[in-house]
Chains A and B, each alone.
Chain A
């Protein structure tokens, strides 16, 4: 048995990891977790409804028809029944989705951007700027969020625009705190000190290194906050300070429906379920996002 020893040195088999596009990895991860998937589907459904709402709606949500007042669900063509003005509840819930989506997204956009800027400034530049900004944050946190929104709304008046303003005023604080702590953590990381050592300018560092790393926490926090804002809007509208009738919004549908709790239960049931499903969807997706993108960051 002759054994010949080839004089070949082998390099390790190059295990090529295909450079998967981000989108493919995103979906492959998503498919693996059914909660994330459910959350994602609910959000997509919500977006779809809020964009194409008025075309897919069986009845005109504003059309008052007193002959068909307070019909229980499933009666003459009204899937979820009608309200005290004879308007189709199913259609109003669909239109209501738009209000919640608009409120959720715009508030997160405004509060997110403002909060992030403050967070970066106070986290990165420190000094007295940081102290002042953090005192402002403390002041605002010295007051329960929902109450602050109520007070502001009661004062600047109700309506879609005002509720977004008050939610944003109340909501930016959480972004500032989380982003600030992220920036503080990033500053200490070796690769930042390394950049400083190689003479990269402070703002250069900020944009080239710090900002990209903030992308994940911002996305995660935004998705988690949307749920809080939607529920906050519903609560404020329920108390009569938020979106005013006749505009169909889940909050004020509950407000109008609460007087009929005895005779027509469906007035308060379905809008509540709509809010719950929306918040559930957004939270599920937010949690999944947090667990996959950045396990350590505990959602506030």
Chain B
């Protein structure tokens, strides 16, 4: 337990919007070890962003509520912290960078003004110290002419540069854990590679653990040590990255893998999983992926599969149930793309 920076146990979150309520997160479990990069992958709407926001305590107070479960940060449950307490963590011990660099910086304040906030809130520093600190971090993230940029406005910087500024904002107080919510999705490919490279470097230099949220499996392959696959508010599979790519156990993960355009031979038609992600209000009992799973059988519809583990490789699918496994063997069917 001790080497785990972050431990999320059976987290359930409910959203209230007017009369109807929905549960985007229905029992999520995962952890991040010190110095590790954990990847959280899944289609949009599977609840990965909500999870990351809940860790940062940025969920809207009025309309959201952590029903049950706990979020342990350095073994301290922070899920029900009061705002004042939570604020001490944000930007200091846990920090976050977001997907849209273009809108994540305040247009009417200079870069310097915005970057001074975490230091002003968490560290006792004089103005000049703050300024030097910011310039140092800006340089660290590879921004040229940091001295000018500090007094410039966001609209004067390119998308890539702004994301670097966001990263430096998150690094200023040397957090133990950095959450990156789709950091490169909005950037074009060339810049994407640079930012990912930068994140890797920084993680190592600052002995930081990184929680990387993405829907792009190639990013996962490149960056992550361990991967958690989420679908419709649940963790359906968790495994060490190579293990996951070599032997995906859960049909959803298999589907994801197959839809990855392998770069060596051109396939006539990309495989895609038919149907869509059910809305939170439409999820009944049984496996949440049942209605889209090619192998689903009535048990899948009847009962929610528990988490079966093979060593460290966990997945929630009845196919992993030893009982079901034997029956499977004698029919030995492999997945043929229809």
A positions within 8 Å CB-CB of B: 1-3, 5-6, 9-13, 15, 32
Beta-carbon nearest neighbor of B293 in chain A? A10
Task: Tell me, in angstroms, the Cα distance from A5 to B319 when the chains sit together.
Answer: 11
Q: How far is the CB of A13 from chain B (nearest CB, A)?
A: 7
Q: How far is the CB of B33 from chain A (nearest CB, A)?
A: 37
Q: Is B323 an interface residue (CB 8 A)?
A: yes
Q: Is B143 an interface residue (CB 8 A)?
A: no
Q: Is B131 an interface residue (CB 8 A)?
A: no
Q: Is the CB of B299 within 8 A of A12?
A: no
Q: Which residues of A contact B274 (CB under 8 A)?
A: 11
Q: How far is the CB of B323 from chain A (nearest CB, A)?
A: 7
Q: A10-B291, A12-B291, A13-B291 are in contact. Are A3 and B276 (CB under 8 A)?
A: no
Q: How many residues of B contact A (CB 8 A)?
A: 20
Q: A3-B299, A5-B297, A6-B298 are in contact. Are A12 and B323 (CB under 8 A)?
A: no
Q: Is the CB of A5 within 8 A of B291?
A: no
Task: Tell me, in angstroms, the Cα distance from A87 to B198 when the chains sit together.
Answer: 85
Binary interface profile of B, 270-287, with partner A (CB < 8 Å = 1, else 0)?
000011101000100000
**What are 19 inter-chain pairs, A to B, with CB distance below 8 A?**
A1-B323, A2-B327, A3-B297, A3-B299, A3-B323, A3-B327, A5-B297, A5-B327, A5-B328, A5-B331, A6-B297, A10-B291, A10-B296, A11-B274, A11-B275, A12-B275, A12-B291, A12-B292, A32-B18
Q: A10-B296, A15-B282 are in contact. Are A3 and B324 (CB under 8 A)?
A: yes
Task: Tell me, in angstroms, the Cα distance from A3 to B324 when the chains sit together.
Answer: 7
Main secondary structure of the interface of A (DSSP, over half): loop
Main secondary structure of the interface of B (DSSP, over half): helix
Question: Which residues of chain B (274-333) have a CB below 8 Å from chain A?
Answer: 274-276, 278, 282, 290-292, 294-299, 323-324, 327-328, 331
Task: Tell me, in angstroms, the Cα distance from A71 to B110 when the chains sit together.
Answer: 69
Task: Tell me, in angstroms, the Cα distance from A2 to B323 when the chains sit together.
Answer: 9
Q: How far is the CB of B15 from chain A (nearest CB, A)?
A: 18
Q: Is the CB of B294 within 8 A of A9?
A: yes
Q: How far is the CB of B16 from chain A (nearest CB, A)?
A: 15
Task: Tell me, in angstroms, the Cα distance from A6 to B297 when the chains sit together.
Answer: 6
Q: Which residues of B contact A10 (CB under 8 A)?
A: 290-291, 296
Q: How far is the CB of B8 from chain A (nearest CB, A)?
A: 30
Q: Which residues of A contact B328 (CB under 8 A)?
A: 5
Q: How far is the CB of A30 from chain B (nearest CB, A)?
A: 15
Beta-carbon nearest neighbor of A9 in chain B? B294
Beta-carbon nearest neighbor of B298 in chain A? A6
Task: Tell me, in angstroms, the Cα distance from A2 to B299 when the chains sit together.
Answer: 12
Beta-carbon nearest neighbor of A1 in chain B? B323
Q: Which residues of A contact B323 (CB under 8 A)?
A: 1, 3
Q: How far is the CB of B288 from chain A (nearest CB, A)?
A: 13
Top 6 closest pairs, chain A to chain B, by CB: A12-B275, A5-B297, A12-B291, A3-B327, A6-B297, A3-B324
Q: Which residues of B contact A5 (CB under 8 A)?
A: 295, 297, 327-328, 331
Q: Which residues of B contact A3 (CB under 8 A)?
A: 297, 299, 323-324, 327
Q: Is the CB of A12 within 8 A of B276?
A: yes
Beta-carbon nearest neighbor of B284 in chain A? A13
Q: How far is the CB of B320 from chain A (nearest CB, A)?
A: 14
Task: Tell me, in angstroms, the Cα distance from A32 to B298 when the chains sit together.
Answer: 40
Beta-carbon nearest neighbor of B292 in chain A? A12
Question: Which residues of chain B (211-230) have a CB below 8 Å from chain A?
Answer: none
Beta-carbon nearest neighbor of B318 in chain A? A3
Q: Which residues of B contact A15 (CB under 8 A)?
A: 282
